[in-house]
Amino acid sequence: MLLIRLAVKNAFRHRLRSVLTILGVAVAILAFGLLRTVVDAWYSGVEASAADRLVTRNAISLTFSLPLAYREKIRAVPGVTEVSQGNWFGGIYVDEKNFFANFAYDIPSLLAIYPEISVKDKDQLSSLLRDRKGALVGEKLAKRFGWKVGDQVTLRGTIFIGDWDFTIRALYKATRAGIDESQFFFHWTYLDETLRATMPTRAGQVGFYMVGIDDPSRSADISRAIDAQFANSLAETLTETEKAFQMGFVSMSSAIILAIKLVSFVVVLIILAVSANTMAMSARERSGEYAVLKTLGFGSSTLALLIAGEALALSVTGACLGLALVLPCAKAVGSFMTDFFPVFLVSDQTITLSLAAGVAVGLLSAAYPALYAARVGIAQALRKVG
Amino acid sequence: MSSGPLIEIRRLYKSYTRGGQAIPVLTDVSFEIGRGEFLALMGPSGSGKSTLLNCLAGIDRVDSGEIVVNGQDITLLDETDLARWRSRSVGFIFQFYNLIPVLTALENVELPLLLTGLTRRERREHAAAALAAVGLSDRSDHYPAQLSGGQQQRVAIARAVVTDPDILVADEPTGDLDRTSAEEILTLMNRLNQELEKTIIMVTHDPRAAQEAHVLRHLDKGELSRAADTPGR
Ligand SMILES: Nc1ncnc2c1ncn2[C@@H]1O[C@H](COP(=O)(O)OP(=O)(O)OP(=O)(O)O)[C@@H](O)[C@H]1O
Ligand SMILES: [Mg+2]
């Protein structure tokens, strides 16, 4: 339609100004998208958690352990389907900057509770289960260090002092986006048996229990039932959903996250100001044309649509350009910061929000010029042209 | 069709306030414009010619008085109704053409038709016919900047007549043109008056332009000279 053509043509009347505005919006949307992805990455552990998993830990704090004997007691609580014990190992590979998550876990029950952790190669799986020093490694982590199945890897213990040798026996893939593919798991029994020989006092101690349940809607009841088992014992427990457990880690950095979120919105506000300024400039320059359109009988609402169309043409073009850049940039940033953010994916929500931000910037920056055009007195504006 | 004048102007007053002080521009202006008349409005700069024309054409408001067109007092219409009335009844020709620079000649002429119920094809046909009438069929895809002043003014005239209004208003339509182009425009306006029976009200400084008109009126310091002169021709 002619009016749409007019709006689009108006948008690109001042090439340089339009291109700069579009670039500004694109950069802002890029920044917005990346910042939101950083926030999402922080929450990736929370997002990846399932409703049918609970975590039982020492009620005092995570740094206190629980006896291994609790395992069978938790197992016996009605509604519990599987229990796996784990310890944060905190081992370092060659250098501290090579950080990745590594755990001692009871691997068969871990795989039962986490169907998302998938070992495709059944031969790898059986050799992992046979080898006491075998390790299960995420594909992303293996790729990062060039590890292959059969490779020997030594981790330097920080919590459990000493050099610990492992053989990589199996690689896992996440069957769901959001699950960290850069974790390192080894047999809990290897840790425990070694400690039994070197530091007997620390043997038989479990960092936390991962608990599978049959009915997510009963998670609160089951948690209470588990904790009731150990009330008034030497090591009381605190059981919560995996989500709440992960959230506990995130909330430690909530101030930073809030700051990042704020910055992401400030970026959009700044670009709104830039875009509004561009539109206001255009509106002023065109007051004569608006007067002509009004003279011909076009109403203020038509002019408002014309201006909104022009603003949207700029801001949505910019937003799309920004979004087109977000995906490759997120990939680049993600691989660069894989130590900090093992999961760095642009979510659908981020894409939707970015587009919405583009549309909002367009509409809001059109508001003042539309009002201005509505107020333009025909005779006055025509006088200026003459 | 009723006989009698097309436009009756009665006791028109208009002033502008500048610095809290009212400056009268039109004081007690009354006259009639006959159907099919070609009226030239002359007078010194600042005498209020444009103001009067704008009020007649419904793009400016009067302080008091009546402007009765076809039996309807347009000073009583609200903005929306006035805009609708303009789009149906008045074609505008400006000194500086006032075409939309990003639209082609044909699109500029089509623009006022968007407010009618015509289909896209009908609009295109009407616009092309109007362009042909001003002799610019071969320039329909040109943008205003690619046209001479005289050609732009002819496009503007096509835009003014495309909706087939009764009244054409022109504020110094030849003011920015050379002799030859000005003559072309005046000939064209005369044809519109003769062949299509448009009532034309033209403000001009140019005595030769005024020659084309049937009726000549002088405005001085907001007051109309009493008698209507008839240019010799
Ligand atoms: N918006 C306005 N505010 C204040 N004064 C105005 C305004 N518009 C017009 N005037 C004044 O009204 C008077 C008449 O102006 P108008 O434009 O009608 O004159 P004109 O006869 O068309 O002059 P010209 O031949 O120079 O075009 C002038 O003195 C002008 O300064
Ligand atoms: Mg004037």
Whether the CB of B48 sits within 6 Å of ligand 1:
yes
Whether the CB of B18 sits within 6 Å of ligand 1:
yes
Q: Are A120 and A173 in contact (CB under 8 A)?
A: yes
- Backbone φ and ψ for B11, nearest 5 degrees, come out as 50, 55
**CA-CA distance, A315 to A28, in Å (whole number)?**
11
The SS3 assignment for B99 reads: coil
Whether the CB of B51 sits within 6 Å of ligand 1:
yes
Chain center to CA of B73: 18
Whether the pLDDT of residue A212 is over 80: the answer is yes
Q: Considering the entire predicted model, what is its pTM?
A: 0.75
Whether the pLDDT of residue B22 is over 70: the answer is yes
Residue B25 has a pLDDT of 93
Chain center to CA of B39: 11
**CA-CA distance, B155 to B114, in Å (whole number)?**
17
**CA-CA distance, A380 to B74, in Å (whole number)?**
20
User: Given an 8 Å threshold on Cβ–Cβ distance, is A3 in contact with B114?
Assistant: yes
- A109-160 pLDDT tens trace: 999 999 999 999 999 999 999 999 999 999 999 999 999 999 999 999 999 9
Taking residues A23-50, report their average pLDDT. 88
Query: Is any Cβ of chain A less than 8 angstroms from the Cβ of B17?
Result: no
Per-residue confidence band for B1, with pLDDT thresholds at 50, 70 and 90: very low
**Domain ranges within chain A, ordered by starting residue:** 2-44+253-383, 60-235
**A294 CA from centroid of ligand 2 (Å):** 19
**Residue in the structure block whose two tokens are 């109403």:** A299
User: Given an 8 Å threshold on Cβ–Cβ distance, is A2 in contact with B107?
Assistant: yes
Q: Are B159 and B109 in contact (CB under 8 A)?
A: yes
User: Given an 8 Å threshold on Cβ–Cβ distance, is B96 in contact with A378?
Assistant: no
Mean pLDDT of chain B: 92
> Residue B77: which residues within 8 A CB-CB, separation 6 or more?
B58, B85
Least confidently predicted of A76-85, B112-121, B122-131, B222-231: B222-231
Residue B228 has a pLDDT of 53
Query: Is any Cβ of chain B less than 8 angstroms from the Cβ of A374?
Result: no
Least confidently predicted of A190-194, A277-281, B160-164: A277-281
Contacting residues of B for A386, CB less than 8 Å apart: 94-96, 171
Whether the CB of B207 sits within 6 Å of ligand 1:
no
- A37-96 pLDDT tens trace: 988 888 887 777 777 899 999 999 888 999 999 999 999 999 999 999 999 999 999 998
**CA-CA distance, A133 to B136, in Å (whole number)?**
90
Q: Is the ipTM of this complex over 0.90?
A: yes
Query: Is any Cβ of chain A less than 8 angstroms from the Cβ of B107?
Result: yes
Taking residues A325-354, report their average pLDDT. 85
CB pairs under 8 A between A and B: 68
Give the Cβ contact number of residue A340 at 10 Å.
12
Output the six-digit token pair for B60: 């400016």
Output the six-digit token pair for A87: 């310890």
Edge-to-edge strands, sheet with B223-224 = B90-93, B167-171, B199-203, B38-42, B215-220, B223-224
Whether the pLDDT of residue B201 is over 70: the answer is yes
Higher pLDDT: B190 or A385? It is B190
Q: Which helix (H) or strand (E) holds B25?
A: strand B21-34
Residue B232 has a pLDDT of 45
- B55-80 pLDDT tens trace: 999 999 999 999 999 999 999 999 99
Cα torsion angle, A48, A51, A53, A58, sign: positive
Residue B233 has a pLDDT of 44
**A105: burial class by Cβ within 10 Å (0-12, 13-18, 19+)?**
buried
User: Given an 8 Å threshold on Cβ–Cβ distance, is B92 in contact with A13?
Assistant: no
> Residue A378: which residues within 8 A CB-CB, separation 6 or more?
A291, A294, A295, B54, B59, B60
Contacting residues of A for B115, CB less than 8 Å apart: 296-298
Output the six-digit token pair for A277: 């300024």
Nearest CA of chain A to the CA of B167: how many Å?
13
Domains of chain B with bracketed CATH: 5-224 (3.40.50.300)
**Burial letters A217-227, b for 16+ CB under 10 A, else e:** eebeebbebbb
- B138-170 pLDDT tens trace: 999 999 999 999 999 999 999 999 999 999 999
User: Given an 8 Å threshold on Cβ–Cβ distance, is A385 in contact with B83?
Assistant: no
**CA-CA distance, B186 to B153, in Å (whole number)?**
11
Task: Determine the residue among B111, B115, B116, B204 to mutate to test chain A binding: the one whose Cβ has the most chain A Cβ atoms within 10 Å.
Answer: B111
Cα torsion angle, A307, A309, A311, A314, sign: negative
Q: Are A94 and A163 in contact (CB under 8 A)?
A: no
Query: Atom 25 of ligand 1 has which residue's CA nearest to it?
Result: B45
Query: Is any Cβ of chain B less than 8 angstroms from the Cβ of A258?
Result: no
Q: Are A34 and A267 in contact (CB under 8 A)?
A: no
Residue B220 has a pLDDT of 85
